[in-house]
Structure 1
Amino acid sequence: MTKSTGPIRRKFILVSAPTQMALARGVEIEQGYIIRERGQELRVRREGGRYFLSARDRTGKSVTGQEIRITKGQFEKLWPFTLGQRIKRLRHIMKLGRLKMKIDEFTGEHAPLRLAEIFLPDAAASKAFKKSDFLGEEVTRREEYQTAEMAIHGPPEPSGMCQLGILPYTFIDRKLHLLLITSSSGNRWIFPKGRQEPDMTPHEVAVMEAVEEAGVLGTLRQDLRTRCQMSDGRYLQLYAMKISKLLKSWPEANVRRRRLFPLSDALEMIGDPGLAKAVRRLAVAINK
């Protein structure tokens, strides 16, 4: 599953409570994000009666971070700055054979989601691991199940309901322009998008769709993304890609047209209100 030689964590949806869960005392955790952009985040967390302030940086080759204890009073002063970017859960820690297992029961808007995380010593143990009956779909590589993603965007959608798309962009005369393509019917302007593929990460799927549908190559930043619900009920996770090259020929060149539009014109071409709102959010982040 992974080439890592160090400890590995694997995350699953919990479909039923294991017997040992009744004996594991739960700790209430509430966490909120003050800042989360461009691979950097600042968050506060209450874990039972303890309070923490954490900073994390994912912009380099490895994740770095720092966490300090703070007082209840300091936490309460910082908590209002996390409005709209919070998540609450009840955490149980227990053994699964010789392995450590962590179960989070989410409350509030994220209920009734329950996730189990298994801690494995190395890749060999991960390959040999056989999941128990109470473990459902594995979501280790699905970004929408990351704590920060859920805090900001809400609970993940059921498997199969979420599409993955690319917002290709460039600057012309210092003004943001977006690349749109026509739908397969040719009567709408849309962004390249597709469904999750087995053994591919979401951003890998998005890059693949950009090449196949729009013939565009570029730099994708995984932290520069947003998620929205479209008018047909489906969800779209949209990644921003800075265009580096437009291919002269591409797999769907015969069935789609592509065109660069100034941001204001692109928003007029997008007929879906939810998608237009998501594009505005990404445009603000791109222009920073």
Structure 2
Amino acid sequence: MRPDLASQTAFALRPAPRPEVQVQYAALCYRLRRGKPQLLLVTSLRARRWIVPKGWPEPGMSPADCAAREAWEEAGVCGTVGHEPIGAFSYTKQGIRRRLPCLALVFALQVDRLDDDYPEVRRRKRRWFRRKTAAAAVRSPDLAQMLRDFDPRGQRR
């Protein structure tokens, strides 16, 4: 009878550590045209896919203020951000050496104006979409559902 190979090894195999989920803050930027919402999307830096502006937490800033700052940096958005998240979506951020599981908390931001000069103006495109078209343009199913269902009438300023 052959001895079990596993019992002959001098080491124990352990499960690989699970990556920790990283939190980002995102802005669902909107305006009303003829009483209907339009949503602003920007392109991602690497894949050039349509996304909502989002970024990492900043020390000393509230989540809503972080989302508003990202909207300005990535799309030149100036406006009024809601202080409670309207939803969340998960995605995997492709880093240089590894993939990071992320959760983005989304804050509604009513756009008052778009600046023409902002930090990432040369690195991203921005475009207004109707809800249904915006939902079809993004990759995340959870984000797509949020865009489709978004109703600005329920937002507190």
TM-score tier, shorter chain, comes to 0.7 to 0.9
The 1:181–1:261 alpha-carbon spacing in structure 2 relative to 1, beyond 3 Å, is same
Partner of 2:4: none
Residues of 1 paired with 2:119 and 2:153: CA distance?
31
Residue 173 (structure 1) aligned to one of 34, 44, 47: 34
Q: Unaligned 5+ residue runs, structure 1?
A: 1-157
Partner of 1:183: 44
The one of the two structures with greater contact order (alpha-carbon pairs below 8 A, sep at least 6) is 2
Normalised by the length of structure 1, the TM-score is: 0.42
Normalised by the length of structure 2, the TM-score is: 0.74
Asked if structure 2 preserves the Cα contact closer than 8 Å seen for 1:181 and 1:258, the reply is: yes
Partner of 1:198: 59
Residue 249 (structure 1) aligned to one of 89, 100, 117: 117
Residues of 2 paired with 1:191 and 1:204: CA distance?
15
Secondary structure at the counterpart of residue 271 of structure 1: coil
Per-residue deviation at 1:202? 0.9
Asked if structure 1 preserves the Cα contact closer than 8 Å seen for 2:54 and 2:71, the reply is: yes
Residues of 2 paired with 1:235 and 1:169: CA distance?
21
Task: Describe how 1:133-172 pairs up with structure 2 within 5 A.
Answer: 161-172=22-33
2:133 matched to 1:265?
Answer: yes
Identity across the alignment (%): 33
Asked if structure 2 preserves the Cα contact closer than 8 Å seen for 1:169 and 1:243, the reply is: yes
Instruction: Report which of the two has the higher share of strand.
Output: 1
Letter in 1 for 2:125: R
Secondary structure at the counterpart of residue 255 of structure 1: coil
Residues of 1 paired with 2:146 and 2:23: CA distance?
15
Partner of 1:237: 105
Residues of 2 paired with 1:235 and 1:194: CA distance?
11
2:89 matched to 1:228?
Answer: yes
Residues of 1 paired with 2:54 and 2:85: CA distance?
16
Per-residue deviation at 1:175? 1.4
Residues of 2 paired with 1:280 and 1:235: CA distance?
19
Moved over 4 A (4+): none
- After superposition, the CA RMSD in angstroms is 1.8
Residues of 1 paired with 2:119 and 2:89: CA distance?
27
CA offsets 1:100-122 (integer angstroms, 9 cap, x no match): xxxxxxxxxxxxxxxxxxxxxxx
Residues of 2 paired with 1:188 and 1:178: CA distance?
15
